[in-house]
Amino acid sequence: MKSAAYEEFALAPGLIQLNHASYGLTSRQVMIEAERIRGHIESDPTRHLGTELTERLTAQTTLTATTFGIDPDRTTLCTNATSGAAAIIESLPLAGDDTVVVLDTEYSSIQRAWELACAKTGARLIIISVSLPFHGPQQLLDELEARVPDSVTYLQMSLISSSAAIRLPVADISQWVRRRGGQLILDAAHGPGHIPMAPTEWGVTAMFGTLHKWLPTLRPVGFLWLAPELTAQVRPAEVSLTWDSPDLIERFSWPGTFDPVPRLCLDTAIAQWNRWRGGDQFSYCEKVADNASDAITGLGARPTATTEYLPPRMRSFILDGVTVAEVKAALHPADVRTWVGPGPAGECLLRISTHIYNDQHDIETLTTRIQEVLAR
């Protein structure tokens, strides 16, 4: 019997959703509010998609930034992490004698965006391997020292790597980048609603991410945070009517005709998220994730990082001796949803993420299926 928390979402009966980190999940409460907002907009779109929209988006941006401890004057909403990354990569100056460093644990589309930018300008691109399991900053710093001979223009890394689910040591890497004269660009897709963010304290120059992964809001909705020297420089990748606006929020408020409802639902999603947090429901999620780690490593799987670099509600494991296809074939018929895919070196990774609708039974079902695969 599923808990009451399960009923707050529209998940199919019996489905075991341990892949929250891929797409998030909209709550029923937010879906109801979204339909109300959508009806309001359709009652008079000329008015509600005009100046009034920018005012409402400003309020939502301020609430979001304040909730997660970042400066509202340096923050704007955008379509998703991809659009935020594109705005940064397209806007930052890059020349033929520049060097861009990207960790190989970065999301594939972000890696590809930097590849295209460097190919266009002739800049040098260096991909740095992050060894799995990850044991701490020193192994990564040693690799950087060995592979990057001189100055750095930009380094791209994640707050929490997507596939490998490593909570990376941002401050340590940022210090290294600054010593090399460069700037750090942070992918914080798995930050808001999951772990604290402190880009100024870490020495980050620009940060982008999503809000629909760990908040129960509609998808897609993302955010962009910029250091003061970049707030006037970074522009949306698409040239729209507000592209020239001196105001950061207005500049990103109209990417052509679009659906603003996901952004306008953020206040409802944040209120619900605050209720869950106040009720210690996230603490329970973390215990479920810890139990999953114990159970899956007990089968012989290897965690991708030592304990201090594990995110609270995301865990990834290296499954030796099996293929991605074999693991997917075992999980899908049992209605168990996780992320399974290749790691940076081609190893088979299994990533789980827990949310308030998960319980110990979910972990037991997952563990049984993984045990069957590993025993073949």
Q: Report the CATH number that the domain containing residue 102 is assigned in CATH.
A: 3.40.640.10
Residues 350 and 16: their CA atoms lie apart, in Å, by: 15
Of residues 204, 195, 193, 208, the one with CA closest to residue 81: 208
Examine residue 329 and state whether it is found in any structural domain, yes or no. yes
Q: How far is residue 10's CA from residue 1's CA, in Å, rounded to a whole number?
A: 16
Based on the fold, state whether residues 246 and 133 are members of the same structural domain.
yes
Inside any domain, residue 27: no
Distance CA 61, CA 188 (A): 16
Cβ proximity of 165 and 304 under 8 Å: yes
**Cα separation, 180 vs 173, whole angstroms:** 11
Q: Determine what percent of the chain is predicted with pLDDT higher than 70.
A: 99
* Same domain assignment for residues 127 and 252: yes
Ranges of H-type helices in the chain: 20-23, 28-43, 45-48, 51-67, 81-91, 108-121, 137-147, 170-179, 199-202, 248-251, 261-264, 266-278, 281-297, 324-331, 360-374
The CATH number that applies at residue 328 is 3.90.1150.10
The answer to whether the CB of 370 falls within 8 A of the CB of 362 is no
Cα(219)–Cα(262) distance, integer angstroms: 6
pLDDT at site 5: 87
Tell me how far apart the alpha carbons of residues 172 and 145 are, in angstroms, rounded to a whole number: 13
CA-derived radius of gyration, the chain: 21
Who's near 150: CB < 8 A, 6+ residues apart? 99, 180
pLDDT band at 108 (very low <50, low <70, confident <90, very high): very high
Which residue segment(s) compose the domain that 264 sits in? 48-270
Single pTM value for the model: 0.95
- Rounded to whole angstroms, the Cα distance separating 76 from 98 reads 28
| Pair 238, 103 in one domain | yes
Name the domain boundary from 270, 298, 326: 270
pLDDT for the residue numbered 208:
98
Q: Which of 244, 270, 296 is the last residue of a domain?
A: 270
Q: State whether residue 14 is helix, strand or coil.
A: coil
**Are 287 and 261 contained in the same domain?**
no
In a domain, 43, yes or no: no
pLDDT of 128: 96
Do 293 and 255 belong to one domain? no
235 with 298, same domain: the answer is no
**80: in domain:** yes
338 and 227 inside one domain: no
What value does the mean pLDDT of the chain take? 96
The tokens of 195 are what?
Answer: 């772990």
SS3 19: strand
What is each CA distance from 276 to 29, 108, 272, 355, in whole angstroms? Answer: 13, 32, 6, 10
Indicate whether 35 belongs to any domain.
Answer: no
Residues 14 and 116 in one domain: no
Between 266-278 and 51-67, two packed helices, what is the crossing angle to 10 degrees? 20
Q: Please check whether residue 89 is in contact with residue 206, taking contact to mean a CB–CB distance below 8 angstroms.
A: no
**Terminus-to-terminus CA distance in the chain, angstroms?**
31
The answer to whether the beta carbons of residues 333 and 261 sit under 8 Å apart is: no
Please provide the size of the chain in residues.
Answer: 376
In terms of Cβ atoms closer than 10 Å to its own Cβ (0-12, 13-18, 19+), residue 146 is: exposed
- 1 has a pLDDT exceeding 60: no
Confidence of residue 2 (pLDDT cuts 50, 70, 90): low
Same-domain pairing of 266 and 319: no
Same domain for 207 and 78, yes or no, is: yes
* 140 and 73 assigned to the same domain: yes
Residue 131 token pair = 């060894």
332 & 258 share domain: no
| pLDDT per residue as tens digits for the range 174-199 | 999 999 999 999 999 999 999 999 99
32: in domain: no
Is there a domain that residue 34 lies in? Answer: no
Span 243-262, pLDDT tens digits: 999 999 999 999 999 999 99
Domain total for the chain?
2
Neighbouring-strand partners of residue 209: 223
Question: Cβ–Cβ contacts within 10 Å for residue 334, how many?
Answer: 14
User: Which of 222, 250, 270 corresponds to the end of one domain?
Assistant: 270
pLDDT digits 0-9 by tens, 185-241: 999 999 999 999 999 999 999 999 999 999 999 999 999 999 999 999 999 999 999
Residue 217: in which H helix or E strand, if any?
none
Instruction: Identify whether the C-beta of residue 317 lies closer than 8 Å to the C-beta of residue 353.
Output: no
| 301 falls within a domain | yes
* Residue in 312, 307, 300 with CA at minimum distance from that of residue 350: 300
